Amino acid sequence: MKIDDLLTEQRNHRSTHIDRETTLEMVSTMNHEDQRVARAVQKQLPQIADAIDAAYPKFDNGGRIIYIGAGTSGRLGVMDATELVPTYGLADDQTFGLIAGGSEAMDHTVQDAEDSEELAEQDLQKIKLTDQDILIAMAASGQTPYTVAGLKYAGQVGTLRIGFSCVAESPIEQNCDYPITPVVGPEVITGATLMKAGTAEKMVLNMLSTGIMIKSGKVYQNLMINVVPTNEKTFDRAKRIIAEATQTTPLVAERALHRVNNDVPLAIVLIETKGTIAEARKMLAAAGGRVSLAVKLSHEAQQVPASH
């Protein structure tokens, strides 16, 4: 399909007079269009959930979350990966983004990079893509050659492929295992897909990555429990997280944290189960590192009557 024929490139009849609107009318027009984005994403919730359920077991088993895209789509992917590392205590090699044209493309447009299919294959070969990895490919148009080629190569490798686009029945949708396609319609400014399409991508990536982290045990209740206390600031944050999670005092949290050598999840399980460090560690291991399940297993064990 020609780029001019894509829905994302069409004129939006609701914003044809935006250059003559007052400033308040202008931002109201933008806001009304953004509300359409949330509804378009809402229609894709079952597809997003399916993608999360397919991805997190691979991540649990050592698979990497890899984003691939060009231009604005690629930059949003790099940003999502970058934020996951400190938020959930991941290593740099557990998640990262690939963008057509490399790091230079984060600040500048790299001419012709997004049209290069060979570049996508080279980038994925360089990181040694495997069938244990998760590849999230993003392109508003659904047909960026670099991104589509990345999906095709990943298909040959056997990698789990999640594809984001804003155009139905696009090459991205046709070359991935889990397509997510919020059709947001024409942009407020014709062709400016950094707007509605970009907002939709940010919303979807938030759900995907956060969902994988939650299912992989990086969250307890709604708290980030994989913070690594390395200085006074992060130690205080860890104390607050433990105290809030266990409904105890900062002093109790601090003592537990010291006892378990600054392991936040283990400190929470230790307080919640009221046992020994060895018992808490064993319960956490049995739960695959998931604090919620470890606490549940401990409570169930305590309720089982002793045999005579």
- Token look-up 């933008």 returns 30
- Token look-up 């969902």 returns 211
Q: How far apart are CA 190 and CA 75, in angstroms?
A: 21
pLDDT confidence band for 5 (50 / 70 / 90): low
pLDDT on residue 102: 80
DSSP, residue by residue, 8-40: GGS--TTSTTGGGS-HHHHHHHHHHHHHHHHHH
For residue 24, the number of C-alpha atoms closer than 13 Å in the C-beta half-sphere is 0
pLDDT digits (tens, 9 = 90+) for 19-67: 899 999 999 999 999 999 999 999 999 999 999 999 999 999 999 999 9
Q: Which DSSP helix (H) or strand (E) runs through 68?
A: strand 65-69
* Averaged pLDDT for residues 239-258: 94
Q: Return the top range by mean pLDDT from 7-11, 13-17, 294-298.
A: 13-17
Which among 180, 171, 181, 170 is positioned nearest to 48, based on CA atoms? Answer: 180
Q: Which DSSP helix (H) or strand (E) runs through 55?
A: helix 45-60
The beta-carbon contacts of 282-290 under 8 Å, at least 24 apart in sequence, are 287/217, 288/60, 288/217, 289/216, 289/217, 289/265, 290/217
pLDDT on residue 103: 81
Task: Pull the structure tokens for residue 134.
Answer: 């998760």
pTM of the predicted model, to two decimals? 0.89
Percent of the chain at pLDDT > 70 equals: 96
* Averaged pLDDT for residues 62-84: 95
Q: Which DSSP helix (H) or strand (E) runs through 137?
A: strand 134-138
- Report the alpha-carbon angle 178-105-193, nearest 5: 55
Residues designated catalytic: 83, 114
pLDDT on residue 277: 94
* Averaged pLDDT for residues 275-285: 91
Which among 182, 163, 184, 185 is positioned nearest to 174, based on CA atoms? Answer: 163
* Averaged pLDDT for residues 174-188: 94
* CATH numbers and ranges of domains, the chain: 3-215 (3.40.50.10490), 219-303 (1.10.8.1080)
pLDDT on residue 240: 94
- For the packed helices 264-273 and 250-259, what is the interaxial angle rounded to 10 degrees? 110
pLDDT on residue 167: 93
Task: Pull the structure tokens for residue 241.
Answer: 């997280």
pLDDT on residue 6: 75
* Averaged pLDDT for residues 274-290: 91
pLDDT digits (tens, 9 = 90+) for 138-149: 999 999 999 999
Question: 163: Cβ–Cβ under 8 A, 6 or more apart, which residues?
Answer: 136, 137, 138, 142, 151, 172, 173, 175, 176, 178, 179, 180
Adjacent-strand bridge partners of 97: 67
pLDDT on residue 306: 53
| Dihedral over Cα of 180, 185, 187, 188: its sign | negative
| Dihedral over Cα of 66, 92, 104, 203: its sign | positive
17 or 106: which carries more pLDDT confidence?
17
**Torsion over CA of 216, 220, 226 and 232, rounded to 10 degrees?**
170
300 or 193: which carries more pLDDT confidence?
193
List phi, psi (to 5°) of 170.
-90, 165
The mean pLDDT of the chain is 91
